[in-house]
Amino acid sequence: MSFLFKMPLTFTILAVVSAGELLAQSAPTSLPPETVTALQQLAGNMLLSGQAYEYDRQLADGIGPRLTGSANYVKATDWAMAEFTKLGLKNVHRESWTIPATWEPETVGTGRILEPHEQRLHMESEGWSPSTPEGGVKGEVFHLPNLGSAEAIHKDADKIKGAIVLIDSESRQAGGDVPYGTMVDNGSLLAKLGAVAVINGSGTTQNAVSVGGGVWDGHLLALPTANMGAEDTLLLRRLLKAGPVTVEFSFKNRVRENVKIDNIVAVIPGREVPKEFVLIGAHLDSWHPGTGAQDNGTGTSTALAVAQAVMALHAPPRRTLRFVLFGGEEEGLLGSHAYARAHSDELKDCDAVLVTDSGGEAPRGWMTLGRADLKEALAPIQVLLGGLGAEGISDYGRIAFSSDQADFMVRGVPSLVLWTGFDKYMALHHKPSDTFDKVVQKDLTLGAAVVGLTAYAIADEQGSFAAHLTTPQVEEQMKQIKMFEEYKDMRDRGFLF
């Protein structure tokens, strides 16, 4: 998941837990008997011979972290191409788009407090931060009270000039529910007001970094920005209460401009209406402190495991299954944005988009992003998913722009996000701890099965899964899930269309 998940954790966790509804008792499914037979076989393939865990191991341990455009990312695209081809999928190909800048750390970041006493700080470069100048940056720390308000920032102009600005969870929450783009703009405003550098206090304990704050369109951040965990952040806040604090830090990053990035596409042609398709998507890129085993090795490996299990059926569904592995998700959903834009003419034939990007905990069901009609449309398959503990439907909307479904959703395509447990996700994603040892084979296998069964059931339906919404209907949907301001802001910036 991407940027909106960098907002306060409490949003996500509380709301996800309170959302959703379980069926009190199961009724027989209304799916046709031949579809049910295929699903039974597919479930057997996925649960007993599913390869998601092995795919994730190969990706996370075998290839490693996959920053968009890095050598490892390219390796991952080669691997995905080879695996889809080996499975016998058709039209396995790359579709490229251009990112304004790729970014990779060249040195380990170093930082320390100079005044009131000398002490090492545990910090790294923030993702997509420019390098510090030769010799590093040095300055007095100013804690920014409110990143959400340009007006409030202007009031502190004197204190910001020449300072290293500390942004922590308090700074990010003070303005309330402001669009993410406003926060990004306000970050750039700090540069205009003469700040020397920024420290993003990530709130992660054990002084671990949690990168990704601030980047959203593949451009570099305006200022050298360090990322720092909770303990050092809290220390700086306490020291600032007693008097001035001076720090210094340095790191070097490698940046290349206008780099071509590949999405990977592969299809299982439908047996009756191949023109119509269900899109199974996940992002192949990851952040670098860990190996992206959860975010989003689990989504990538789910897509491959579904492809493997459906191929093993030798009975494709009526419609085509189209698998798309996106790049640039972590820099602002760039790969899926490019894909939806390039394929906008054929989205009318896209029956549904199923995205997996919330980690590998046990599946609970599907997130429908506030669409009540999708809840109804899922009812026939929901009955069958009950046996996997995944009959839940959540209309939690805060994740609407947090992963690759966003660009399809705003074009009215029925879009679903796999709903999984979320207990460990926030402690792992974007951090050094996002590694394969955290992936539980059973949970990942179950999640992949939910995606495979749902995709097959939708693709095998006689009629279409659900209506494509008009723009006014999408606006209504956004209002209902309280994401209209965010939607409008992104639309006004030309970011979604």
Q: Which residues bind Zn ion (CB under 5 A)?
A: 1, 295-296, 357
Nearer to Zn ion, 102 or 250 (CB): 102
Instruction: Report in angstroms how near the CB of residue 429 gets to Zn ion at its nearest.
Output: 7
Chain center to CA of 54:
22
Spatial CA neighbour of 46 closest among 487, 397, 316, 447 = 447
- Provide the 3-class DSSP secondary structure of residue 284: coil
Instruction: Specify the residue, 1 or 457, whose C-beta has the smaller distance to Zn ion.
Output: 1
Nearer to Zn ion, 239 or 490 (CB): 490
CB of 377 to Zn ion, least distance (A): 25
Edge-to-edge strands, sheet with 110-115: 119-121, 110-115, 246-250, 137-143, 164-167, 197-201, 225-228, 123-125
Taking the complex as a whole, the smallest distance from the CB of residue 329 to Zn ion amounts, in Å, to: 6
Q: Assess contact for 4 and 405: CB atoms under 8 A.
A: no
Q: Taking the complex as a whole, how short is the minimal distance between the CB of residue 402 and Zn ion, in angstroms? A: 8
Residue 322 pairs with which residues in a beta bridge?
Answer: 267, 279
CB of 53 vs Zn ion, minimal distance in Å: 18
**Residue pair 355/415 in contact by the 8 Å Cβ criterion:** yes
d(CA 219, CA 258): 10
Q: Which is nearer to Zn ion, 165 or 369 (CB)?
A: 369
Q: CB 299 → Zn ion: shortest distance, Å? A: 7
Of residues 103 and 249, the one with the C-beta less far from Zn ion: 103
Edge-first strand order for the sheet with 253-268 is 90-105, 253-268, 319-326, 273-283, 350-355, 415-420, 363-367, 392-394
**What's phi and psi for 494, nearest 5 deg?**
70, 20
State which residue, 131 or 298, has the beta carbon closest to Zn ion.
Answer: 298
Nearer to Zn ion by C-beta: 296 or 477?
Answer: 296
The CB-of-422 to Zn ion minimum distance in angstroms stands at: 13
Report helix, strand and coil shares of the chain as percent, to nearest 5: 40, 20, 40
